[in-house]
Amino acid sequence: MNEVPDKYLPIGTVVMLKGGTKRLMIAGFCSVEEEKAEKMWDYNGCLYPEGFLSSNQTCLFDHEQIEKVFHLGLQDDEEKEFKENLASLIKESDAMLPKEVNESEVL
């Protein structure tokens, strides 16, 4: 499977990032780094096939960084409902974030 479907891909999906050399398995969504709390990443993942080894080996990445999908995770009614709820939560959180200000508007 080469084509990258719409985000958000199911948990368990195995992907290769653009420029990557090691496959990752999607393990979660909407992750934030402690040091950079203003940035929310689309996914968090772990090395494949090794899996989660330690918290300092968790990879954070966005949908646009995915080059290839090797395996699509489980998609069922529960996953579909979760994805709908996730989309609503993301839309609400985006509305609460301050809008970017253009430099021309400040001057």
The predicted structure's pLDDT at residue 99: 54
Contact partners, residue 16, CB within 8 Å, separation at least 6 = 23, 24, 66, 67, 68, 70
**pTM given for the model:** 0.77
State the chain's maximal CA–CA distance in angstroms: 52
What does the mean pLDDT of the chain come to?
Answer: 83
**Tens-digit pLDDT profile for residues 21-39:** 999 999 998 877 777 767 8
The predicted structure's pLDDT at residue 98: 54
**Tens-digit pLDDT profile for residues 53-77:** 887 788 999 999 999 999 999 999 9
